[in-house]
Amino acid sequence: MARGHGRILTTIWEDPDFLALSEAAQRLYFFLISQPNLSHAGLLPLTARRWASTARALTEDLVRERLAVLDAAGFVAVDPDDEEVFIVDHFTHHGTGLNPRLAAAAYDAITVSASPRLRSLASMQLGLAVAKSPDTAPRGVRALVLDRDGWQCRHCGWQPGDPVPAAPTGRPLARCLELDHVHPRSRGGSDDVSNLQVLCTSCNTSKGARI
């Protein structure tokens, strides 16, 4: 069923990164989050030509230019090869981590994405939302680390869409990708990219605070 509305937090007007965007880039962001075909995972097909037809004097080239601005600023992630867009703060806007049904629907939507890169980034964002963990990484850093680590767990190679093993109780385990500090922050580890790695929930839980 097509969505009937888009949601956004009013605190976006207190976000210096968002306020630094041009009016045109901000408009495109609001346009994207209000698309009827935006999935529960915050993913939607990249249809720049159709989007360009929604405003006078807007062209496909302008849409792609503004998408690149939003991508560089960390508000969206674009996969031009698989023609998909991910709204990075989608789970925050929708309170997905507070609603088990929304979280389950988001996970299902992630697994059918055509883009390995966006599946991994969306999985990481969903894991943060469900864990209600504060996101200490600067905007865009997650995508950089995911690209470097091949969009999969650095330890076991799991990536969104792969089978999830059952727990000893027989129930499926919840598994997402997470951003781990190689040298834990509790021991003075930094948020520098060189100290970050991608781990799945299972491997990160097993690692704990070990180095």
- How far apart, in whole angstroms, are the C-alpha atoms of residue 121 and residue 127? 10
Number of Cβ within 10 Å of residue 154's Cβ equals 17
- pLDDT score, position 192: 86
Report the first-to-last Cα separation within the chain, whole angstroms: 46
- Domain 10-132, second-level architecture: Orthogonal Bundle (1.10)
Tell me the three state secondary structure of residue 81. coil
Q: Is the model's pLDDT at 71 over the cut of 50?
A: yes
- pLDDT score, position 97: 81
Number of Cβ within 10 Å of residue 53's Cβ equals 12
Tokens 């969206």 correspond to: 76
Q: How confident is the model at residue 12 (pLDDT cuts 50, 70, 90)?
A: very high
Q: Is the model's pLDDT at 155 over the cut of 60?
A: yes
Sequence spans of domains, the chain: 10-132, 140-207
pLDDT, the chain, mean: 87
DSSP 167: P
63 or 162: which carries more pLDDT confidence?
63
- pLDDT score, position 184: 84
How far from the centroid of its chain's Cα atoms is residue 58's Cα? 27
Token pair of 174, please? 């919840």
pLDDT in tens, 14-34: 999 999 999 999 999 999 999
Percent of the chain's residues with pLDDT above 90: 47
Tokens 């991608």 correspond to: 198
> Pairing between strand 177-181 and 196-200?
antiparallel
How far from the centroid of its chain's Cα atoms is residue 20's Cα? 21
pLDDT in tens, 164-178: 765 554 444 467 888
